[in-house]
Amino acid sequence: MADHPSLSIGILITLAWRNLWRNYRRTLIMLAAIVVGVWAMILFSAMMRGMLDEMVHAGLRVLPGEAQIHHPQYRDDPSIANSLDAPQGELLQALNTPPITAWTSRVKVPGMISSERDNRGVLLLGVDPAGEIALGFQRENIVEGRFLESSEDKGIVIGRKLAERLETQLGKRVVIMSQSPDNEVVDKGVRIVGIYKARLQATEEFFVYVGRSHLQKMLLVGDQVSEIAMTADNYQDVDKWWPDIAAVAGAQTSTEPWMKLDGYLNSMLEVQGNMNIVIMVVIFMALSFGLVNTLVMAVFERIREIGLMMALGMQPLWILYQVLLESLMLLALGLVVGNLLAAITILPLESGIDISIVGEGLEMAGMGSMLYPTLAWQDMLMSTAVVLVLGLLASLFPAWRASRYNPTEALGKI
Amino acid sequence: MSRIFFSALLLTLSLPGAAQPDAKELIEKAMDMWRGLTSYGEMTMVIHRPDWQRSMSMQSWSEGTENTLVRVTAPAKDAGNATLLKDTNMWSYAPKINRVIKVPSSMMGQSWMGSDLSNNDISKSTDIIDQYDHRLIGTRQEKGHTVYSIESIPQEDSAVVWGKEILDIRDDYIMLEQQFWDQDGVLVKSFKTLEVKEIDGRPVATIMRMQEVDKPDQWTEMRVEQSQFDIELPPGLFTLSNLRNPRQ
Amino acid sequence: MLAWRNLWRHGRRTWLTVGAMIFCNALLVFLISFQLGSYSMMIDGNLGVLTGHLQVQHKDYNDESRMRFSVPGGVELAQELRDHTGIEAMAARGLTFALASSEERSFGIQIMGVQPTFEPLVSTLPGLVKEGRYLKDNAAEEIVIGSVLARNLKIGLGDELTFLGSGRDASFAAGIATVVGILNSGMSEMDRTIAQIPLGYFQDVFTMDASVHAVVVNTDELDAVAPVKAQIQSELENVDLRVLDWNELQPGLKQAIQADMFSAFVMYAILIILVAFSVLNTQLMSVLERTREFGVMMALGLHPGGLARLVLLETAVMSLIGLVLGCALGAIITGYFQSNGLYISGMEEAMDRYNLPGRLYPQLSALSLLAGPAIVFIGGMLAAIYPSLRLYTLQPVTAMRAV
């Protein structure tokens, strides 16, 4: 280097840049390859992220909530005997403070529903409709009539399939029956004020909604509830706050986060997460093949040019640096464009792609009919880092080979 | 003063052939007639299906509108099975398992002893009086008797699935028929008295049939063989311990 | 001919592109086999618990599981079917809702009457008995219950459990059985409500006579389900009986798998696009740098059409090599894992809980072998269209002057 003080980095950079654009068609093609690769990776991770999120959210809507409090024996034996007092004092305060964004309490006990022609075992849900909606009950699921209006509502909302089985309709009266904590049979006539649809028919046949106060009165339990459900709208951070709630709720209760309440969902999340990593690796590898391919070709086809430069006195090491620099510029450019392209295409789609065309099978599997790709800067960063590293590695071999050329040989090649 | 006046008024109203009787009263009297203050009966329950028929003999005791005890005496396979009703609670006993089980709400919809009556039907038979609003809708003459038709509509919050019930009650307070109608005005099932005899000085429905209207080949009949009313019943008859260890 | 020599003149470049194709194809073969293999595993795992692959039932039973919708002569029928189809894994079952009671409370449970010798062949539950033993004698008054039920009733091995329900003729049915085994399936719903008694005892208590509610069949492979179903259907003389396959028995399962397939397709699509792009790239460059050469050929009279065909041919040859070698490589890798199983850490314990094998076995089939590579081939050919089209714009004179 000391021999050629005039060859500074600056000049190398200029040279590299000009080299790139001398054969703009070739450069553009390579650029396109990189852009497409980067865009594909980011798009894929956005879609996967969206799908996972949707899956978890759908599951949390059903629980509902990210954490729940029960009587310690309730989960083994979900009867009215294992009830909790309505939240008060410290617990009430904790529930109304961030990070918790919404909570509700419900009575949830097995019972029977009868019409003139049939009777079936169901799960009676005594709810506060505002709370349910805050935790995920979707009003659009009501296909006839309305949802409950308050926790004092005297009506009942049942699933479409259940109405069919019972041979009853909106507006008619049905009788719900269950047991009080003293084991007395208690029952009540209620009018159907709404009919809902759900993903699975089994759900429609099993869950019925009545006003919480109304059910509490029927069951003679005063103020007590079966379950307190809450959410902080961020399913990945639940471990940060649920122990605090558990502490405040006291030793006579049992608080659990959704990961424990729906072990299946949790393990699905983990498995999918791991699969996604595998898939990303695979895509990177495919991309790197293409990348190596194009870079190698680019170098080899400029053999004559490189030979010329060497004949004119360029040191092999500088050749190496130059090739690498060209690669770097190309990669950088490709990455910038790729990231931008990804952002431009994904952000508008974040409001949801309607995938119901793909089949109602998806809806049944808990994916809903909308896909919400989610752009996350972590994904972009990772793609960028990987492409950069891979790209430079890929250029290393050809660059090194380039620097090893014998000028005369190189010049002679075509 | 006013009390005498009212009693006189009531007497007048309850005389056959007098001005229109009060529907609710008619029903109350029919219930009284059916159960008496206390009663003891021996009967056979016949369950008829398209391809088979089964009968069970049983004894039953009742007290007021709230206490009933039924014990199966034949055939051997079912003998000893018993049901106790107190208010709205029902217990079952089977000698085979030697246990008294309280019938939970999940079993209330099941058929009682395999018949066309459900546990619910059995335990709520007298509920009609207070849970419905009644009115007289017609009278007719039949075989020398006046028969009153009463329409009973369940009150809004009543734990009743029916749209309405129509009861035909004879002037001697025998319930000739109890019809169960759905909320669309379609008749679903009916409990009919097919034969009335005089036993122990009072008219008794001796054959009663419960049948769903759209299943003519399926029904359950209660055939009363013996009946005694307003007798003295041993104390402690309607208790769980008696259910398990009958002293009677 | 020319195409072949052209390819080998730029050996390295050709190999790189072909290499990309081989890699992609092999990957696709492996991944698709893996995917199909894991679906089989998911389905088998799920069905293996209780449902089985097929069931013979009364025609109305699946819709409304009433006691009276039964299969007459069920035990005999099961044996006949075993003999005629050669499948041992068939078991007859009775099923009903009943109440199990302790001193103060009753708990609703599902009582299953099972054939102790055959039930373990169609269900993983018998293998999940963690305390005591499974049922042995077909007439014994014994019962196996779930761990949560045992907890709720506060009973253990050797205790008596009273249960009551309705017989097939709706009569009162009751029994007392001794608890000989407690099972822990890891699924709380099941551990809370399932109880199993010998079929003979079940038929006695619930007045079933000789009938049952279902004959459950377990075929070894999912592919066997359709033919076995047809065979059994033809054997059934009773018009009141039906054979149902797992799709009808568990409607949500197929859809869950379809959802998973969707996300996999997305990934495959991306892979294929990348490879197609690579081909596009290569061919375009190749066309560009042989501009002079092509110019000469055109001047000598070769039509652009001929040149285009040349390019396409080159692409076809490359793609074919990529296809063949990729399929071969993919088949080898997949075959290896198919016999030895793929091990992902953490899965072993998770599976063990459900009495399922802890390894994943990809399944090679005609579909998984050819589907991916075929599409790559097509994609590659499509990608070569643009470069070959550019040939039409070549002016021989300018071309010959190019560098």
Q: What is the distance between the alpha carbons of residues C166 and C175, in angstroms, rounded to a whole number?
A: 11
Task: Indicate the residue of A110, A116, A154 with minimum beta-carbon distance to B183.
Answer: A116
Helix H or strand E segment including A341:
helix A316-349
| pLDDT at residue C347 is higher than 60 | no
Cβ(A20)–Cβ(A326) below 8 Å: yes
A111 vs B105: CB contact, 8 Å cut-off?
yes
Residue with token string 């000028």: A407
- Nearest residue, CB atoms, B89 vs list A154, A173, A184: A184
Comparing C-alpha atoms, which of B15, B73, B65 is closest to residue B45? B73
Q: How far apart are CA C276 and CA C318, in angstroms?
A: 12
Chain A touched by C255 (CB under 8 Å): yes
Distance CA A120, CA A29 (A): 67
Q: CB-CB: which of C97, C278, C344 is closest to A290?
A: C278
pLDDT at C276 over 80: no
Neighbours of chain C (3+ CB pairs under 8 A): A, B
> Which of C106, C172, C197 to mutate against chain B (most B CBs within 10 Å)?
C172
pLDDT of residue A32: 79
Phi-psi region of A341 (alpha: psi -120 to 50; beta: other; left: phi over 0): alpha
**With contact defined as beta carbons under 8 Å apart, do C2 and C264 qualify?**
no
Arithmetic mean of pLDDT over chain C: 81
Cβ neighbours around C24 below 10 Å, total: 30
What is the C-alpha to C-alpha distance for residues C144 and C141, in angstroms, rounded to an integer?
11
- A-proximal residues of C, 28-57, CB under 8 Å: 31
Listed range (A78-87, C130-139, C275-284, C394-403) with the worst mean pLDDT: C394-403
The pLDDT score that the predictor gives to residue A226 is: 93
The answer to whether C170 contacts B97, with C-beta atoms less than 8 Å apart, is no
Torsion-angle region of A366 (φ positive above 0: left; ψ -120 to 50: alpha; else: beta):
left
Distance CA A275, CA A273 (A): 5
10 Å Cβ neighbour count for B50? 9
Distance in Å, alpha carbon of B17 to nearest chain C alpha carbon = 46
Q: Do B157 and A112 lie within an 8 Å CB cutoff?
A: no
* Interface predicted TM-score of the whole assembly (ipTM), two decimals: 0.82
Average pLDDT (C294-300) is 75
Asked if C101's CB is within 8 angstroms of B114's CB, the reply is: no
Q: Can you give the pTM of this predicted structure?
A: 0.79
Range B42-48 average pLDDT? 93
Model confidence at B2: pLDDT above 60 = no
Q: Which chains touch B (3 or more CB pairs under 8 A)?
A: A, C
Per-residue pLDDT, C103: 65
Token pair 């949830």 is at which residue?
A108
Kindly indicate the confidence band of residue C322, based on its pLDDT and cuts at 50, 70 and 90: confident
In angstroms, what separates the C-alpha of B205 from chain C's closest C-alpha? Answer: 25
Q: Which residues pair with A120 in a beta bridge?
A: A113
Cα dihedral C168→C174→C179→C180 (10° resolution): -50
| CB < 8 Å to B153, chain A | none
Question: How many interface pairs between B and C have CB atoms less than 8 angstroms apart?
Answer: 48
* Count of residues in chain B: 248
Interface touch C174/B94, C-beta < 8 Å: yes
**How distant is the Cα of A223 from the closest Cα of chain B, in angstroms?**
21
Residue B43 C-alpha, separation from nearest chain C C-alpha, in angstroms: 18
Radius of gyration of the CA atoms of chain B, in A: 19
Cβ-Cβ contacts under 8 Å for B214 (sequence gap 6 or more): none
A111 contacts on B by Cβ (under 8 Å): 105-106
Tell me if chain B has a CB within 8 Å of the CB of C106. yes
- Residue contact A300–C151, C-beta within 8 A: no
A157, β-bridge pairs: A194, A209
Element containing residue A297 per DSSP (H, E): helix A263-300
Give B-chain residues touching C108 at CB under 8 angstroms. 106
C-beta of residue A172 within 8 angstroms of C-beta of residue A208: no
Query: Any chain B CB within 8 A of the CB of C175?
Result: yes
Q: What is the pLDDT of residue B9?
A: 46
Look up residue B68 and give its two tokens. 């009933």
H, E, C per residue of B142-153: ECCEEEEEEEEE
Which of C251, C262, C277 lies nearest to residue A36, judging by beta carbons?
Answer: C277
- CB A112 to CB B105 under 8 A? yes
pLDDT at residue B94 is higher than 70: yes
Could you give the angle at which helices C304-340 and C291-299 cross, rounded to 10 degrees?
Answer: 130
Contact criterion met (CB < 8 Å) for A286 and C151:
no
Rounded Cα distance, A365 and A87, in Å:
35
**Chain B residues touching residue C174 (CB < 8 angstroms):** 94, 96-97, 99
Give the best residue of A112, A113, A116, A190 to mutate against chain B (max B CB count within 10 A).
Answer: A116
- Answer yes or no: are the C-beta atoms of A226 and A104 closer than 8 Å: no
> Which among B97, B99, B114 is the nearest to C169, CB-wise?
B114
User: Please, which chains are in contact with A (at least 3 CB pairs closer than 8 A)?
Assistant: B, C
Annotate B153-220 with three-state secondary structure: EECCCCCCCCCEEEEEEECCCCEEEEEEECCCCCEEEEEEEEEEEEECCEEEEEEEEEEECCCCCCEE
Taking 90 as the threshold, does the pLDDT of residue C346 lie above it? no
B183: nearest CB among A119, A173, A178: A173
B109–A116: do the CB atoms touch at under 8 Å?
A: no
Nearest partner of A76 among C356, B34, C149, B76, judged by Cα: C149
Better-predicted residue by pLDDT, C88 or C259: C88
Residue A157 half-sphere exposure toward CB, CA atoms < 13 A:
29
CB contact under 8 A, B161 and A121: no
pLDDT for A354: 60
Render the burial of B32-48: b for 16+ CB within 10 Å, e for the rest: ebbbbebbbbebbbbbb
Cβ neighbours of residue A146 closer than 8 Å, sequence gap 6 or more? A193, A194
- Which span out of A308-317, B40-49, C262-271 was modeled with the highest average pLDDT? B40-49
Could you read off the pLDDT of C366-381 as tens digits, one per residue? Answer: 777 777 777 777 777 7
Cβ contact A361–C274 (<8 Å): no
Residue B125 φ/ψ, nearest 5 degrees:
-60, -30
Q: What token pair was written down for C323?
A: 């296809």
Determine the residue of chain B that is closest to C204 in CA distance.
Answer: B77
Residue A294's SS3 state is helix
With an 8 Å Cβ cutoff, is A185 touching chain B? yes
Collapse the DSSP code of B3 into the 3-class scheme (helix H, G, I; strand E, B; otherwise coil) and give the result: helix
pLDDT tens-place string over residues B109-137: 888 888 888 888 888 777 777 889 999 99
pLDDT < 50: residue spans in chain A? 1-2, 5, 414
More confident position, C48 or C273: C48
- Residue whose structure tokens are 């894991």: C38
Task: Examine the pLDDT at B11 and tell me if it is beyond 50.
Answer: no
Cα separation, A258 vs A232, whole angstroms: 12
On the question of pLDDT at C49 being above 50, the answer is: yes
**Which C residues 134-153 touch A at CB under 8 Å?**
148, 151-152
Cβ–Cβ contacts within 10 Å for residue B130, how many?
A: 11
- For residue B11, the SS3 value is helix
C-beta atoms of A289 and C278 within 8 A:
yes
Does residue A170 contact residue A195 with C-beta atoms inside 8 Å? yes
3-state secondary structure chain C: CHHHHHHHHCHHHHHHHHHHHHHHHHHHHHHHHHHHHHHHHHHHHHHHHCCCCEEEEECCCCCCCCCCCCECCHHHHHHHHHHHHCCCCEEEEEEEEEEEECCCCEEEEEEEEECCCCHHHHCCHHHHEEEECCCCCCCCCEEEEEHHHHHHHCCCCCCEEEEEEECCCCCEEEEEEEEEEEECCCCHHHHHHEEEEEHHHHHHHCCCCCCECEEEECCCCHHHHHHHHHHHHHHCCCCCEEEEEHHHHCHHHHHHHHHHHHHHHHHHHHHHHHHHHHHHHHHHHHHHHCHHHHHHHHHCCCCHHHHHHHHHHHHHHHHHHHHHHHHHHHHHHHHHHHHHCECCCCHHHHHHHCCCCCCECCCCCHHHHHHHHHHHHHHHHHHHHHHHHHHHHCCHHHHHCCC
Which residues of chain B make contact with A187, given a CB cutoff of 8 A?
105, 159
Answer whether A33's CB lies under 8 Å from C277's CB: yes
Structure confidence at residue A57 (pLDDT): 87
Minimum Cα–Cα distance from C190: chain A residue: A76
Q: Flag if C289 and A294 touch (Cβ within 8 Å).
A: no
Whose tokens are 């072949």? That residue is C4
Return the closest-CA partner of residue A399 out of A335, A309, A303: A303
Cβ-based burial of C27 (10 A; exposed 0-12, middle 13-18, buried ≥19): buried
Distance between CA atoms of residues C111 and C195, nearest Å: 5
Reported as a pLDDT band with limits 50, 70 and 90, residue B13 is very low
pLDDT band at C303 (very low <50, low <70, confident <90, very high): confident
Residue pair A347/A331 in contact (Cβ under 8 Å)? The answer is no
| Beta-carbon separation of B96 and C174 below 8 A | yes
A215 touches chain B (CB under 8 A): no
Q: Are strands B132-142 and B99-102 parallel, antiparallel or unpaired?
A: unpaired
Q: Is B224 helix (H, G, I), strand (E, B) or coil?
A: strand
Which residues on chain B are in Cβ contact (under 8 Å) with A188?
157, 159
Contact at 8 Å (CB) between B51 and B232?
A: no
Mean pLDDT of chain B: 84
For residue C101, the chain B residues in CB contact (below 8 A) are: 99, 101
Kindly report the number of other CB atoms within 10 A of residue A98's CB atom: 7
pLDDT of residue C210 exceeding 60: yes
CA angle A309, A310, A316 (to 5 degrees): 120
Model pLDDT, residue B14: 44
Report whether A364 contacts A197 (CB < 8 A): no
Asked if C20's CB is within 8 angstroms of A290's CB, the reply is yes
- Could A185 and B108 be called an inter-chain contact, meaning their C-beta atoms sit closer than 8 Å? yes
- A-B contacts at Cβ under 8 angstroms: 63
Cβ of A77 and C152 within 8 Å?
yes
Name the residue facing B78 among C164, C166, C172 (closest C-beta): C172
B99 in contact with C, Cβ within 8 Å: yes
